[in-house]
Copies of this chain bind each other. A is one copy, B any other.
Amino acid sequence: MHSNTFYRTHTCGELRMQSVGTTVTLSGWMHRSRDLGGMTFIDLRDRHGITQLVFNMESNAALCEMARKLGREFVICASGVVTERSSKNAQLPTGDIEIIVDKLEILNAAELPPFTMDDETDGGEELRMRYRYLDLRRPQMQQRLMLRANMLKAVREYLDAEGFVEVETPNLIKSTPEGARDFLVPSRMQPGLFYALPQSPQILKQLLMVSGMDRYYQIAKCFRDEDLRGDRQPEFTQIDCEMSFVRQEDVWNMFEGMTKHVFKKVKNIDLPDFIRLPYRDAMKYYGSDKPDLRFDCKIQDLNAVVGGSEFGVFNNVLASNGLVAGIVAKGCSEYSRKQIDELTEFVKAPQRGAGGLIYIKFSQDGSVKSSMDKFFTPEQLMAIGESVGAGKGDLLVIVADKEKKTRKVLGDLRLEMAKRENWIDKNAWSVFWVVDMPLFEPDEETGEPIFAHHPFCSPHPDDFQYMDSDPLRVRAQSYDMVMNGNEILSGSIRIHNKELQEKIFKILGFSEEEKERRFGFMVNAFKYGAPPHGGCAFGFDRWVMLMAGGDTIRDVIPFPKNNNGRDMMMDAPGEVDNDQLRIVGVKLL
């Protein structure tokens, strides 16, 4: 390690007992100061830690006076002798020592910052975003940025060792057709024409496979001009990967290995082997394509055990091929009326739209109580409970609706119960594959099959036979990695065959002209010998967020944008001169 000794011989996180007696120089920020009688103590902070500086009025009054005048966040350089502390601080790695300062220089003064540089800061999010450069001084934020860097390092270590070549693809490209809206960049040299920023390097990485690069990766900035509801950013980071001469299993093994490597390197956690959960099972048991499996609580079908009563709700659902199903909330039999009402409101909320919630409480005393007491005898209710493994002390909550809605609502309710009942061990990790996604999905309005992924995703070879007769039955060679209920990877085996690609374009209803305009160069490339290939992309921001224990991806992005797409610190986007617009051939509306 190169060292320079002008501004510092050590960082503020480095000194221990073995340095006692040596003279050192430290630089950093004045984090906190305390005057105690004739002594002044200063916590000097840098990214590496905090070291205590000591000034003594008796031995050096001028220096001590100078130290007392230092404001918060002043940048200083101090020299002195490392000394054992009389009262040690076990909370600090440097807490055994302090520096008796004999030389002090103010490198830069500071105005009083708008909030404190502590993990529990007094600054709200808007203020912290406006002064992001100060927000990033907080130890928590610095640790998050370092975690992010360490994860990238572990990712590269693994991929380099596996023979992946890091290739940079361009950011000024042609408008691509991946669903979301492109950010456009007007061209000055060819006024009236536009570049687009990449939504992902999808096409380019497939062309790299055509070019024989074999194994590719890139830590890629991607851009999507979407409305920023939820936890999205207009620019975000993907770990983008592609491999030639592979089947699904090869991709799964490779990136399961990578994920385990990163967990081991960064958190010293040995993840168990990932299960490969078929999409249909994920939907059936958890009502979600990205279930959180840190707790069990499966959705259980009840059609077979709830028939034959006078209960109209069930009978209508059963008659119309709907689904009655429930989840068992262990230990919740004593839920109050108010609590049950809250759950009912939850399932009836507009984004879920269930008609209501039915419950059966199996009390500790052996009695049973239900919102359908009128239609079922206690024995029938006990039998329903037995069929799903609900015992004394448990609550069975039931939804009856169209199958898709029943599963979705119960999937959401499952997560809600986990939150209410603290079912999730905060230190647990649930990481696994969801596989066998459908190639098509029914259009929300017409019910017609529409493509569920990008148009380069290969159908499952076992299901080719249903392509025309029963397209909704066709599985794609498409997969996600799910981490604690978040999709953090999405990928597929791609179509490498020109004829199959043409067929898919036809099913998607692209005209020859549209196909040529949007994918012409790609279709052309595939004429010259494309290898079988597939890959994936990790949503890196989300992965870092999960590992950092953050609440939003903004917590792990150094300079994020707010929900209006604004960078509050830089005040971007901003106005530009008319001249700047004129030379790129556009004007404001």
Chain B positions within 8 Å of A197 at CB level: 171, 185
Contact string against B for A residues 146-161, beta-carbon threshold 8 Å, 1 for contact and 0 otherwise? 1011001100100011
Separation of A181 and B560 alpha carbons in the complex (Å)? 24
- What is the chain B residue whose CB lies nearest that of A257? B2
Contact B187 A185 (CB under 8 A): no
Contact A149 B165 (CB under 8 A): yes
A175 at the interface (CB under 8 A from B): yes
Chain B positions within 8 Å of A160 at CB level: 153
> Using a CB-CB cutoff of 8 Å, which residues 157-202 of chain A contact chain B?
160-163, 165-175, 181-197
Separation of A581 and B581 alpha carbons in the complex (Å)? 13
If A47-B213, A193-B575, A528-B134 touch, whether A558 touches B168 (CB-CB below 8 Å) is yes
Contact B573 A187 (CB under 8 A): yes
Contact B576 A586 (CB under 8 A): no
Partner of A27, one of B245, B566, B567: B245
A527 at the interface (CB under 8 A from B): yes
What's the tally of chain A residues with a CB closer than 8 Å to chain B? Answer: 133
Return A47 CB to nearest CB of chain B, in Å. 5
Return A490 CB to nearest CB of chain B, in Å. 20
- What is the chain B residue whose CB lies nearest that of A71? B529
Listed by A's residue number, 30 A-B pairs whose Cβ atoms lie within 8 Å are A2-B257, A27-B531, A45-B212, A46-B212, A47-B213, A73-B529, A75-B532, A107-B496, A110-B527, A111-B527, A131-B525, A133-B210, A136-B213, A137-B212, A145-B165, A156-B156, A168-B557, A171-B197, A171-B223, A184-B576, A184-B584, A189-B228, A190-B566, A192-B589, A193-B574, A194-B573, A207-B569, A520-B571, A585-B588, A587-B587
> Footprint of B on A, CB under 8 Å?
1-2, 4, 6-8, 11, 27, 29, 45-48, 73-75, 77, 107-111, 113, 131-137, 142, 145-146, 148-149, 152-153, 156, 160-163, 165-175, 181-197, 204, 207-208, 210-214, 221, 223, 225, 227-228, 234-235, 237, 244-247, 249-250, 253-254, 257, 496-497, 520-521, 525, 527-532, 557-561, 564-567, 569-576, 580-589
